Amino acid sequence: MRATQRNTRQREVVLEELRRLGTHPTAAELYEIARARLPKISLGTVYRNLELLAENGIIQKLKISGAEARFDGDPQRHYHVCCVRCGRVDDVHDLPRNFVRRRAKQLSGYDILGFRLEFNGICPECKKRSAPGSDEGASQEKDRAV
């Protein structure tokens, strides 16, 4: 999070529309939608704001297989299904502890072909590199049930 951050109309609109959609739009899609309210907004601004919001943990940036990044207005959800044909992305809610293909299919309506689980964090090398008195404690380690 930066020192001082201003609340601009553009940032507000981008976030509002992303949340209102409830889907996983690309930056370009969001740009088109935002343009209805702010005709002069630029793609660059949309990208900059999405990036910033994601850095602050307010939204989520997804890099699913496929060309474009997608954004999720809900930073809490972590389960997604993506279509290998059209690239569409949906959520899978209420995934039980012992998640299974069958359950994912029931909840999403997809034919589940596979899955991918990714952890993210700081690798040993990077830890060493900035070990003593680390000042860049970006994401504090919340104790959620990973």
- For residues 2 and 144, which CB has a smaller minimum distance to its own copies in the complex? 144
- For residues 3 and 145, which CB has a smaller minimum distance to its own copies in the complex? 145
The Cα 112–Cα 79 span in angstroms is: 13
The Cα 68–Cα 74 span in angstroms is: 19
The Cα 41–Cα 43 span in angstroms is: 7
Q: Residue 32 CB, nearest distance to its own copies (Å)?
A: 20
Residues making contact with its own copies (CB under 8 A): 61-66, 78-86, 88, 90, 92, 95, 97-101, 104-105, 108-127, 138-139, 141, 144-146
The Cα 8–Cα 2 span in angstroms is: 15
Tokens at 61, concatenated: 């940036």
Partner interacting with residue 51 (select from its own copies, DNA, none; CB below 5-8 Å by kind): DNA
The Cα 60–Cα 74 span in angstroms is: 7
Residues making contact with DNA (CB under 7 A): 2-11, 26-28, 38, 40-45, 47-49, 51-52, 67-69
